[in-house]
A = this chain, B = another copy of it.
Amino acid sequence: MMKSKIRFAQGNEVCVEAALYAGLNFFAGYPITPSTEIAEHMAYKLPRRGGTFIQMEDEIASMSAIIGASLTGQKVMTATSGPGFSLMQESLGYAIMTEIPCVIVNVQRGGPSTGLPTNVSQGDVFQAKWGTHGDYAIIALTASNHQDMFQITVDAFNLAETYRTPVVLLFDEVVGHMRERFFMPDEGDIQIVDRLKTAIKEGIDYHPYLPRDDGRLPMSDFGGIHRFNVTGLFHDMWGFPTNNPKIVDGLIHHLIDKIMNSTYEIARYKEYYLDDATRIIISYGSAARSALHVVENRRKKGERIGLLELQTLWPFPFNIIRNKCSHARYVVVVEMNMGQVVQLVKMSVERPDRVFLANRVDGVFITPTDIRNILRIVEGKGV
Query: A112 interface residue, CB < 8 Å from B?
Result: yes
- Bits for A75-111, please: 1 = Cβ < 8 Å to B, else 0: 0000000110111011001101110000000101011
Residues on B with C-beta less than 8 A from A131 are 86, 89, 127, 130-133
Of chain B, the residue at the smallest CB distance from A95 is B113
Evaluate contact between B114 and A231: CB separation under 8 angstroms. Answer: yes
Q: Supply 9 further A-B pairs (C-beta < 8 A) apart from A82-B133, A86-B132, A87-B89.
A: A86-B89, A94-B114, A111-B135, A112-B255, A115-B233, A252-B362, A304-B323, A347-B347, A359-B383
Query: A229 interface residue, CB < 8 Å from B?
Result: no
Residues on B with C-beta less than 8 A from A363 are 234, 243, 245, 248
Query: A3 interface residue, CB < 8 Å from B?
Result: no
A89-B89, A132-B112, A343-B347 known; A374-B378 Cβ under 8 A: no
* Candidates B118, B133, B256; contact of A243 at CB < 8 Å: B118
How many angstroms between the C-alpha atoms of A116 and B93 in the bound complex?
A: 13
How many angstroms between the C-alpha atoms of A308 and B264 in the bound complex?
A: 25
Query: A364 interface residue, CB < 8 Å from B?
Result: yes
Evaluate contact between A232 and B115: CB separation under 8 angstroms. Answer: yes
Instruction: Identify 27 residue pairs between A and B in the complex whose beta-carbon atoms are under 8 Å apart, listed by A's number.
Output: A82-B133, A89-B131, A97-B112, A97-B113, A110-B134, A110-B248, A112-B132, A112-B134, A114-B232, A115-B232, A116-B243, A118-B243, A123-B134, A130-B131, A131-B131, A135-B337, A135-B361, A243-B363, A245-B363, A245-B364, A249-B383, A263-B301, A303-B319, A339-B382, A347-B352, A357-B377, A358-B382
- Interface size range on A against B: 35 or more
Residues on B with C-beta less than 8 A from A364 are 245
Residues on B with C-beta less than 8 A from A245 are 362-364
With both chains docked as a complex, state the minimum distance between the C-beta of A285 and any C-beta of chain B, in angstroms. 15
- Chain A facing B: main interface SS: mixed
How many angstroms between the C-alpha atoms of A323 and B302 in the bound complex?
A: 9
With both chains docked as a complex, state the minimum distance between the C-beta of A12 and any C-beta of chain B, in angstroms. 18
Evaluate contact between B380 and A252: CB separation under 8 angstroms. Answer: no
* Candidates B98, B115, B136; contact of A134 at CB < 8 Å: B115
- Bits for A224-264, please: 1 = Cβ < 8 Å to B, else 0: 00000001111000000001011011001101100001011
Docked complex: A248-290 residues within 8 A CB-CB of B = 248-249, 252-253, 255-256, 261, 263-264
Evaluate contact between B116 and A127: CB separation under 8 angstroms. Answer: no
Evaluate contact between A355 and B382: CB separation under 8 angstroms. Answer: no
Which among A124, A231, A300, A362 has the highest number of chain B CB atoms within 10 Å? A362
A96-B113, A232-B113 known; A382-B377 Cβ under 8 A: no
